Chains A and B, each alone.
Chain A
Amino acid sequence: MNINLTMFAQALSFAILIWFTARFVWPPLIKAVEDRQKTIADGLAAGERGKHELEISAKRSAESLREAKHQASDIIAQAEKRATAIIEEAKENAKAEGERILVGAKAELDQEVFRTKESLRQQVADLVVSGAEKILRREIDAKAHADILSAVSSQL
């Protein structure tokens, strides 16, 4: 049980082993473990973030869906309104057009009537003048009584 040189030799090998462990074993090992811890922590954080983003985008998509529906119904309502307006306008236009045509036709008719009357009057005047001419062949000088004749024809 005596202490001898063995102790110092043993202490030397102990020192070598400590150096080896502290230099070559521990640092890479702790680095690997800490790197992995960081990776796992990052992964968990990313997962959490992804979940959160999913929730947000789900909410956003529901909102945009609702908005789109709302817009669509707006558009439909507008279109209906526009359609009735167009129909109304068309009716209005048609009525106005009809009236215009009617007025035109009436005017044309009036004109025709007037023209017919005119020509009839002319013919009657001519007939009257020729009748009177035939009766008054001898007494009436066309030249001398032209003013009387034109006065009569204008009165007809």
Chain B
Amino acid sequence: MSTEQLTPAEYIGHHLSFNAQSVGDTGFWVLHMDTLVVSLLLGIVVFGFLGWVVRGVTAGVPNKRQAFVELLMEFVDGQVKTIFHGNRHAFVAPLALTVFVWVLFMNAMDFLPIDIMAAFYQHVLGLHKWRAVPTSDINATFALALSVWVLMIFFSIKVKGLGGWIHELFCAPFGSNPLAWPANFAFNLIEYISKPLSHALRLFGNMYAGEIIFLLLGMWAATGLVGTFFGALLGAGWAIFHILIVILQAFIFMMLTVVYISMAHESH
């Protein structure tokens, strides 16, 4: 593999470089093609599959495909039901399903062996820089978290009205005494800032760290026979543990989404 000519820093740096396409003058006008293409491709495949199954859906005896999709749906629906009290079928439950499935599959890209895939991208697809795990791109996690954040504010205003929302900004959680207004507002401000931050960074951190560990193990594997043996062994162990993290992080991301949205529906 070509990594043997690289220093460890270069190896890791290479694996952590995005396929960035500049579409403007400043640093902001950049698109990470790898993140976008992989996540969109996964979205099309997975949600296309769901749409395909749902097209042939029957209320009678379901086939195995449909039973599997229903199992997934009922798992998500069960979680949403415990948190959100309202008409969840209109928006919140589909949102939760979208978040869970999409994040799960974006996280699952981490299972692909990182160096083999890098060689595949480079030699077959001709892509020198390509990161396969969209959720280890902070843009992707912030995109999801901020979308949820916008929805949270939207539902807050929709349920309580603009006045009600502003009232809540100043009068919760410490009461409507004018003296408490600054404290309330500061409290809410911190909450509104910390929610998307923790939401996005939790997922990003987990997936990024997972990728780094794989890279470190891959680097160890390049040091010699012993390193290869232990690198492979620990790599397998970490991959198995990573299955848990991938599912858990997708689940947590979904749960936080539902919690935030349902908190927006409740007035204090």
Contacts and interface: CB of A to CB of B under 8 A. Distances in A.
- Whether A associates with B in a native complex is yes
A35 B137 CA distance: 41
Contact residues of A: prevailing secondary structure:
helix
A136 interface: no
Interface string B45-71: 001001100100111101000100110
A14 B94 contact: no
A18 B147 CA distance: 11
Interface string B12-42: 0000000000011001111110011001100
Interface string B137-152: 1111011101100000
A10 B50 contact: no
Nearest to B16: A1
Given A15-B147, A25-B51, A33-B70, A3 B95 contact: no
B58 to A, nearest CB: 6
B98 interface: yes
A6 B94 contact: no
A4 B27 contact: yes
B89 A6 contact: no
Contacts, number: 125
B43 interface: yes
B140 A6 contact: yes
Most B CB contacts (10 A, CB to CB) among A5, A15, A36 go to A5
A21 interface: yes
B73 interface: yes
B57 A32 contact: yes
B97 interface: yes
A9 interface: yes
B140 A10 contact: yes
Interface of B: 23-24, 27-32, 35-36, 39-40, 43, 47, 50-51, 54, 57-60, 62, 66, 69-70, 73-74, 77, 89-91, 93-95, 97-98, 102, 134, 137-140, 142-144, 146-147
Interface of A: 1-11, 13-18, 20-22, 24-33, 35-36, 39
23 contacts: A4-B27, A4-B31, A5-B24, A6-B30, A6-B31, A6-B32, A6-B36, A6-B139, A6-B140, A8-B143, A9-B36, A10-B39, A10-B144, A13-B43, A17-B102, A21-B98, A24-B51, A25-B47, A25-B94, A26-B89, A29-B57, A29-B69, A31-B59
